[in-house]
Structure 1
Amino acid sequence: MTNTTSKGSALITGASSGIGAVYADRLARRGFDLILAARDVGRLNALADRLRAATGVQVEVLPADLTDRADLAKVARRLAQDPAITLLVNNAGVGGTGPLVGEDPLKLETLIALNVTAVTLLAHAAANAFAARGQGAIINLASVLGIAPEIVRGAYSATKAYVLTLSQSLHAELSTEGVQIQAVLPGATRTEIWERSGVDVNSLDQSRLMDVEEMVDAALTGFDQLELVTIPSLPDPADWQAFTAARMALLPNLSRAHAAVRYKLPTPA
């Protein structure tokens, strides 16, 4: 099948498997040319060959380890300098299910490098390029754990809260510049991230585990509906709206000239 209606290029990080690979498939079928970034060159090439044959779009493989500063800079430069790129899918990330206490500091550094630093610098490069052109979109993959850190202990949930906050901040900054921002907050999703984190996926509650294809399809539907935050498993969007309204109701009292009365000790006699 040949696709002659390209919508520009989508650069997808973590594209060799799981969520990234499904995004690549779905976006190719929507008419995007692809730039696939990940460490596993063999998998990237196999995916690229399959998508070229199935969709007729142009697919480029961009090998990169986003925890490596030189590789990260290479991908950021591509986002900054390639006017054909209209969409960034900021998907690359590493899982973590252990508590902060007792965690290996090197694992924490890798977690933060990939889930926070790489996401930020790539979003920065794309945002500057898209804002200058007055068009483009950034999809940041966060997690429901970013709003429910009690479920999983440790720093992983904090990194995903950061991705959500970054997305909300970018939306506030760029919504009038023609740049669309979406944060996707999946729940438990059937991908290889569980095995990489040392968790047997079959040990999980299967009633709460979504197939990756269904998750990505739901996320793209949210993207089409211009949602800033998409939670694929959330039945009623009014629940998120109520959550947001409660947060916004705090704003007038978050910064005031004096401490709240309950924090003021009685004047000594």
Structure 2
Amino acid sequence: MLHGEIEISAFLKARRAALDPGEVGLPDGFGRRRVRGLRREEVAQLAGISVDYYTRVEQGRAPAVSDSVLDAIARALRLSDGEVTYLRNVAVPRRRPAGGPPRCVPGPAQTVRPEIRQLLAAMDPAVAAVVLGRGLDVLAWNDAGGRLSFDLDALDPARRNTALLVFLEPTAREVYPDWENKAEEVVGNLRADSGRHPDDPRICEVVNELLAGSPEFRRMWAAQGVRECLRGTKRMRHPAAGELTVTFESFRLGADPDQVLVTYTASPGSPSEAGLRRLAAGAAVVAGSVS
């Protein structure tokens, strides 16, 4: 199945399976269990709706699910804020019109406004920054941002994508010492993006390539996790700038809501800040390599 054919079923089933009945006051459930997690009738009971109706929601057969029902299901499944948003985005079945175009047909190129590029160029050299678009494509960057992990200028434009680089570039595990955490962060962000744009051709293209090319991605994607990570601290390893510990913040652009400005900074006077300044001054990394 193509990524664009997003189903609510897989998401709700995964969330049911992730819950321990004892956590929601159902230590014994409705008899002996053969599978882990909650049953449909238990979710329906907790949400205060009929089993038949919950079943139709989970199977994507409920044409118009009210916000109150979605909220009740979210509470029953102990969904996070990001998961609630994703549930709302995929709750209404989306079907291709008869004779409509096939999914994953390349769409128009995403562009960054000149004013945003001007902002990137005007930033302090110790601030590394990139602009991400749909599907986690890297659309623009300043000097330090373009050299922070991979040499973006040297990469083929089609490969300038955070998810593709993290999962398919052989040196990604050298760039990110905490690779597993970085990979899960990428999957959570990509899943959230797919909920906002379930039929976007670029997201579909990226996810399908990763499903075909990365067993680790297949495993993480199948878990149906939705965890949009917009801020935090991460460790990175650069051959010229050395070991870096940076904090990142993400800012969705008001006039371009499908684009996110991500900045990376380090503590003033720290070796990591000095490393960012070296990157801005021209310390480069060979495309796809950190050695």
TM-score by length of structure 1 reads 0.29
TM-score by length of structure 2 reads 0.28
Q: Per residue, is there more helix in 1 or in 2? A: 1
Q: Which has the larger radius of gyration?
A: 2
